[in-house]
Amino acid sequence: MKNDVTSLRRLKTIEGHLRGVIRMVEEDAYCIDVIRQIQAVEAALNKVSSQILENHLNSCVITAVRGSDKKERERVLKEITEVFDTANKV
């Protein structure tokens, strides 16, 4: 994966937000407030994950599908299936 500046910036922002959630727990903040902040972090991570997946589909997967190596096509498509299977288990 290329070093996607936008994704990296978002992840660093999420990292700061997560540190804020940790502080809230350390300071015994109201549980519902903590949960809402955790949900915001989860939503932000999901957005970054979707952007990275879109980038992967538009680069690595397209390259493999257009290529002549059948095993590489199968490998890349299997990876995508595994990602979705893992996401559905959570």
**Over the stretch 48-57, which tens digit does the pLDDT of each residue have?**
999 999 999 9
CATH number at residue 20: 1.20.58.1000
> What is the structure's pLDDT at 3?
58
Number of structural domains found in the chain: 1
**The domain containing residue 68 runs over which residues?**
5-89
pTM, two decimals, is 0.84
Q: What CA–CA distance (Å, rounded) separates 72 from 60?
A: 10
Mutual angle of helices 31-56 and 5-26, in 10-degree steps: 160
